[in-house]
Amino acid sequence: MAQPNPEPAPVLVNKVFLFVLVAVSLAFGWILWPFFGALFWGVVLAILFAPLHRRLLIKLKGRASLAALATLAVIVLIVLLPLAFLTASLVSEGAGFYARVQSGELDFGRYFDQIMHALPSWFIERLNQFGLGNVAALKLKLSTAISQGASLIATQALNIGQNTFEFIVNFFITIYLVFFLLRDGARLASRINVAIPLDEQDKRELLLKFTTVIRAAVKGNVVVAIAQGGLGGLAFWFLGVNGALLWAVIMAFLSLLPAIGAGLVWLPVALYFLLTGSVWEGLGLIAYGVLVIGMVDNVLRQILVGKDTKMPDYVVLISTLGGMAVFGLNGFVIGPVIAAMFMAVWDICITARGGNR
């Protein structure tokens, strides 16, 4: 009589299932990758506005779909529509700036000549000692680099307007995902919680750290960026600097980098004013940059980011720079989140081995 086939060993079954689980998860991530930015910001917006959704859910007596729709309307009104308006304004400003560069109205070589003529003779001698005395060659290199950089910035602004279809697709993916994450987020989070093979306390701590860092990174960095970009753009507009809105957006973007940020834009402009004889404008811009724009970074970022994430400033800076180098603009959130999760996981590991938190 034939013997029945023996049951597969449990260890083998577990290994095969684990392989299948990893394979299908990677494949699913692969097909979603083209929409990574839209999906990422959908998750971020859902986390940011989850408290508002919970309050609306109570007021609307548990009608989850209606509460999610109301929250989504708030997101569109206070986040997405202003962003679309700013993008349209930036495209217009970028097109005008690019046209002025191409026509020669903005001549960076002339600005360089003004600076060189204003430099004292002893400084020129020091340049000669370091082999930088060839003013013509130096002017050509610097003006070419600045013109290319300015053209690149303006071209990128124009590309935003040209990629309208891609923007619309990502926009609808984002709001579609936000709606369902708000409506079904609690149930989805519960299922994910069951699937994670960790102790309940460790899972709660990691989830709390994850949501806290995302909220702190987005709220803190965005508030600082808007404040510094707006204040810098206002100063440039008051001083008559060409392309004030474009430079305001660039300062807002650079302010995502802690400590250095917007100073990479306003400080060279202030030095240009000083060297070309506009002493009061230069001194005023330096004072304004240090006491107003810089103070926004020092005070608000520490209150909104450092205090909530409980990460040292140097970790925030390095993780933000690294995140943006790897993930682009999304990295200003992803970088600090990865750093925070890294620290939290190692904290759990140390505690499990008998250390103190």
Q: In tens digits, what is the pLDDT along the chain, a chain of 357 residues?
A: 455 555 555 666 577 778 888 888 899 889 988 888 888 888 888 888 888 888 988 888 888 889 889 999 998 888 877 777 776 666 666 666 666 666 666 655 566 666 666 666 666 666 666 555 555 555 556 556 555 555 555 555 555 555 566 777 888 888 889 999 888 888 887 887 777 777 777 777 777 777 878 877 777 777 888 888 888 889 888 888 877 777 888 888 777 776 667 888 888 888 878 877 778 888 888 898 888 888 877 777 666 665 666 677 777 778 877 887 888 778 878 888 888 888 878 877 777 666 555
Q: Does any domain span residue 22?
A: no
Is there a single domain that holds both residue 228 and residue 286? yes
Out of 141, 176, 195, a domain closes at 195
Number of domains in the chain: 2
Is there a single domain that holds both residue 188 and residue 209? no
Is there a single domain that holds both residue 238 and residue 337? yes
Q: Does any domain span residue 216?
A: yes
Is there a single domain that holds both residue 163 and residue 225? no
Is there a single domain that holds both residue 204 and residue 323? yes
Out of 195, 221, 237, a domain closes at 195
Is there a single domain that holds both residue 147 and residue 84? yes
Residue 56 near residue 67 (C-beta atoms within 8 A): yes
Q: Does any domain span residue 5?
A: no
Is there a single domain that holds both residue 112 and residue 215? no
Q: Does any domain span residue 4?
A: no
Is there a single domain that holds both residue 45 and residue 172? yes
Is there a single domain that holds both residue 151 and residue 271? no
Q: Does any domain span residue 18?
A: no
Tokens of 260: 């250095």
Is there a single domain that holds both residue 203 and residue 185? no
Is there a single domain that holds both residue 170 and residue 249? no
Out of 195, 211, 233, a domain closes at 195
Q: Does any domain span residue 261?
A: yes
pTM flag (> 0.85): no
pLDDT at 119: 62
Let me know how long the chain is: 357
Class of residue 308 by CB neighbours under 10 A (exposed 0-12, middle 13-18, buried 19+): middle
- Spatial separation of the C-alpha atoms in residues 266 and 268, rounded to whole Å: 6
Sign of CA dihedral 335, 341, 345, 346: positive
* Closest alpha carbon to 228 in 261, 252, 257, 259: 252
Task: Tell me how far the alpha carbon of residue 172 is from its chain's centroid.
Answer: 21
Q: Does any domain span residue 343?
A: yes
Query: Which residues span the domain enclosing 184?
Result: 37-195
